Structures are given as structure tokens and as C-alpha cells.
Amino acid sequence: MTKDLTVGKPFKSILFFTLPIFIGNVFQQLYSMIDAIIVGQTISDEALAGVGATGAISFLIIGFVQGLTAGFAVKTSQLYGAQDKEGIRRSIASSLALSVALSVVLTFLSVYTTMPLLKLMQTPEDIVQHSYDYIVTIYWGLAASVFYNLASSVLRALGDSKTPLVFLILAALLNIAFDFLFILGFHMGVDGAGWATVLSQALSAIGCFIYMFVKFPDCRIKAKHFVNKPLFYLQHLAIGVPMALQYSITAIGVIVQQTALNKLGTKIVTAYTAASKVDNLAQQSLAALGTAVATYCGQNYGAGQFTRIRKGVTQSMIMGVVCSLVSLVLVVVCAKPLTMLFVKDASEEIISLSKEFLLWQGVFYIALAAIFVYRNALQGIGRSALTMIAGATELLMRSLASIFLAKWFGFTGICFSSPSAWVGADVFLLIAYFVIMHKVIKKAMKSGADNPIKLVYEKKSVSNDGKITSAAESEEGKAINNVSENEECAAADSNENAIAE
């Protein structure tokens, strides 16, 4: 069931839209954790460290995929907010075509750069083969991740955050079953864990698309919906590519961080791997909130509800602070028992290192919450290019901290690298968000585009050449609420100018 986020109380709308995403994210992290638990408990600590050492280069590619597909869906959410059904179909078709090309290029690029990157990162010799075997399997099945993320993003763009949850739970259960089958049954080692992830995502992606096309008539595409002018495809890329690069830029900083970490030895890499799994779980409420904010802002931007965007973002930040404090308590209380789940016969040193890392991350979760809220708000209103600057700031701060603080303070310096990146990015994001929203609302008010009365009958469509037209000009448009044709066109022109600016 789709949900219109342009109506109702913003706090309630965002909260109830966030909850299924949060539950889904937790399940995703849980099956990732089970991967690590099975590897660490049934193979070896070196195998666990090997899988953990791939986190940075995995994020480089998978993060790019997630950013790009989420960016395509932002365009879809804007069209949904504008009530343009034909535009939605064309957007989905365009996203599918672009995703096919993306899958082919990224698969071969990632597979053939894996080992050089692992060596460049100075991955310890005793774990490098484990790292390669695991991540190259993920890369060969990259198309599964691309289409799984695209299907989930499109459904959320239409206001349906529950269906992706169902298929994510399905993926989690399948992944666990395949883990036991491939690792314990077939003795495939760490690459068995990789194949378990690929197959579970592929099956969930297929199910997600079948459900979407059957359940939602607005998503049923035909051959003609792929025939769009280049400008329409470029509009998707203009939002998706900056979002993807923002993730990849952040990933480069994580690679620098992982390189500095690798120099400290396998034992520290093992502690970091276990702690990062717990850290990722604790962050999922913030990640879910960010996803909800992007959809909320996209729909309301398409509908011209600019003051509603500002109100919703402010209330989302309040939710972010609460989630941050709860997550801090989680990592402090559960650091030791959760670390022991991953590491067989964990020493006091490994547990101590894990607890230290989690404490410093947790203290700065509020700064991370601000990144998720304001970055996704900017992405939702189509300003994703600005998030690249925030990503570059994260890269700079994380790299400098990893290089110099790790050199001076060892593992403690690594613990400070991510928090310093979060704070640095926040400075830019906060300034960018408030300046842009002030300008958008000011122009909208002058033109009358943010007038709720006009927005009742205002309908937009985006043609396949990328042009925004009023409802009266669109093929499917028609006047509603008995508004005269002249008055409707005036309102449409007013709102069009505000959105264009």
C-alpha cells in the first residue's frame, strides 16, 4: 500500500514510514552479523578478519549502487508527489535501463580491481586470500544487489515502506539458510557466505518486482516507457550520480581508515570487525530515518509543499537525537556480549578494544543523526550534488584522522576518525540546508506556490523530454474541485516557476 506523505502530521507520517525501514535494516544487519558469526565460529578468527577487511572496498561499490538507485527513486518520488502516473512509469523504466548498464560496468570493474585494492590497503598476508574469496563472490553477483536496491527504493518512493521490509526479512532468512548450507554443509568457506548473500538478494529482488508490477497499476511499464529523450535519463543521473559518488567518496575515506588499521595487525583488525558489526546495528535507526526523510522531502517537493518540508525535517532531527541516545546505551551495555558472539575464545584485549571503539562512536551518534537527516533532505529536494561536498569533507577529515591520529595514538586514533568526519560534514550540511530552504520558501511564497488551497487542485506531469507542465497541459490532467481553467493555469504556472528556481 502506497502512502502519501504530503498530507497529515509530519511527525506521525515520518515516524510510521520509518518504522518498517528500521525493522528491515535491523534484519539486514542481523543476517550480516550471522554471516560473521558463522565465519568466526566455524572457520577461524583469520577468516573473520578477512571478511571484515573487505568492508571498505565493499562499501565503495555497494554504497555506489545504493546511492545511485536511491537517487533514481528520488525522481520517482517527486513525480508521485506531482501525481504524474505516466511520469512514474517512465521513471521506473528509465531506472531499469540505467541499472542494467550499471550492473555490467560495475561487475567487471570491481572484480578485476579487487586484489590490487586489497594489496594497496596492505591487508595482512594471513587474511588477504579470505578477503579476496569473499568479496569477489559478492562482486560477481552485483546485479542482484543493484536490482534489489532499485526495487526497494522505488517502492519507498511510492510511500510503501512495508513491502521492502517483507522481502528484506525473506532475504535475511534465506541468507541464514544458505549460510548453513554452503559453509557448514558444502564446506565452501568464506566464499560460501558470499554466495549466500548473492542468492538471497537475487530471489528477493525478483519477488519485489513481481509484487510491484502486480499490486500497483501505476508501475506497470511497457516498451514505450523506455523510449524517452536523453534529458529525462539525464535528470535521473543528475540526482543519482552525485548521491552515488557521495557514498563512494565516503568509502574512500573508509579505505584510508582500513589501511591504517591493517598496519596495526590481525588482532586489532579482528576487534574492529566485531565492533563495527555492533556499530552498524546501532546506526540503523538513523539510517532508516534518513531514508524516510528523503522520500518525505521528495514527495512534498513534487507537490510544492515547501514549508511542510522544513517542519518535517526539524521534527526528524528531534527523532534523530532520541534514537542516538538509545543507540549509545545499546553499544555501551551490549559491547562485551556481542563482541564475544563473533570472536571464538575472545581475549580480554580484543573485548577491551571493541568496547573502546563502540564508546567513542556512540558518543557522537547525534552528529551522525544530523548527517542522515540533512543530507537526505537535500537529496530529496534534488540538491544531491551538494552532498558530494559533504562527502568530500568526510573523506578529508576521516583520512587525516586515520593517518595522523592512528600514527600518534594507535587504535584510539582510529576510533576518532569517523566522529571527526561526521562533525566536519555536519558543518557544511547544516549551512547548505538552511540557506537553500530559506531561498526556496521565500520564492515560493512570493509566487503563491506554497498556498495549500492552490495545491489541492495543482497537478504536475513531467514529459519524456523532461519538461514540467501543468495538469491542464498534461495528457491525463484535468481540472478538479471546479476551479476555472484560467485560475488553474495561473496556479500551475506560479508553482512551476517556484520549483524551477
> 443 vs 88, which has greater pLDDT?
88
User: Is it the case that residue 474 has pLDDT exceeding 50?
Assistant: no
Domain count for the chain, please give it: 2
Q: Are 323 and 373 in contact (CB under 8 A)?
A: no
The answer as to whether 3 is a domain residue is: no
pLDDT at 259: 79
- Confidence band (pLDDT; 50, 70, 90) for 1? low
- Whether 313 and 457 share a structural domain: no
**Residue 234 and residue 114 share a domain:** yes
pLDDT score of 449: 55
Q: Tell me the pLDDT tens digit for each residue of 447-461.
A: 665 544 333 333 344
The answer as to whether 5 is a domain residue is no
Instruction: Residue 454: name the closest of 474, 483, 475, 411 by CA.
Output: 483
pLDDT of 463 reads 42
Counting beta carbons within 10 angstroms of the beta carbon of residue 473, is it exposed (0 to 12), middle (13 to 18) or buried (19 or more)? middle
The widest CA-to-CA distance across the chain, in whole angstroms, is 76
pTM (predicted TM-score): 0.67
Is 4 a member of any domain? Answer: no
Range with lowest mean pLDDT among 114-118, 145-149, 186-190: 186-190
Same domain, yes or no: 434 and 487: no
pLDDT of residue 258: 75
Least confidently predicted of 221-225, 235-239, 304-308, 467-471: 467-471
Rg of the chain over Cα atoms, rounded to whole angstroms, equals 23
DSSP lists the bridge partners of residue 460 as 470
Q: Is residue 196 part of a domain?
A: yes
In whole angstroms, give the CA distance from residue 498 to residue 470.
13
Kindly state whether residues 35 and 76 are assigned to the same domain: yes
Overall average pLDDT of the 81-86 stretch: 86
User: Do 51 and 161 have their domain in common?
Assistant: yes
**Per the domain annotation, does 43 fall within a domain?**
yes
**Secondary structure class of 431 (helix, strand, coil):** helix
Four-residue CA torsion sign, 212, 65, 56, 353: negative
Look at residue 499 and tell me whether its pLDDT is greater than 90.
no
pLDDT above 50 (res 498) = no
So what's the pLDDT on residue 251? Answer: 77
Helix axes 230-262, 266-282, angle to 10 degrees: 140
Interior angle at CA 359, CA 424 and CA 34, nearest 5 = 105
Rounded CA separation 379/439 (Å): 16
Residues 379, 470 within the same domain = no
- Cell, residue 101: 548498464
Residue span of the structural domain in which 42 resides: 10-447
**Per-residue pLDDT tens over the stretch 159-193:** 888 888 888 888 888 888 898 889 888 888 888 88
Whether residue 172 lies inside any domain: the answer is yes
In a domain, residue 205? The reply is yes
Does one domain contain both 437 and 468? no
Q: Which residue, 427, 447, 467, sits at the end of a domain?
A: 447
Q: Are residues 298 and 442 in the same domain?
A: yes
